[in-house]
Structure 1
Amino acid sequence: LPAYEQVLKAAHSFNLLDARGAISVTERAAYIGRIRNLARSVAQSYYESRERLGFPMAPREWVEQMTKKAA
């Protein structure tokens, strides 16, 4: 999950800058939104990649339930 690690690095860098007061209030909201969107994109991509594999490590009942929801 290298992409998720990059999201964590981005969030950490943001927190360091925010703690030092280097980010204004308006910039703060924009950065939080960007990191949130990045995290959401990474999570969606990971879910889709596992879905393509048929959720190999998940219990069969869960897989069946998820495929019914998607249909």
Structure 2
Amino acid sequence: MTMTASRARATGCQGYSETHPRTKETASVARGLVRTACAAWGLGDETAETAALAMSELVTNAVRGGTACA
């Protein structure tokens, strides 16, 4: 099940949140979300790609090393 939420933060920037299963495909979804957020915030392509790469690494590490919630 995927849950998505979008709401304004105290800074005035739109915030995004999604919950996904702990699978390798989730890294691709996360990269897409980061690219979308960066575009909505008017950030450049280079910044978006750097952020997407960082997110991909974080999600991959969580998928590989995470444990199921009790």
Structure ranking higher in helix proportion:
1
- The reply to whether TM is greater than 0.5 is no
Shorter-chain-normalised TM-score: which range? 0.3 to 0.5
Task: Give the TM-score, by structure 1 length.
Answer: 0.41
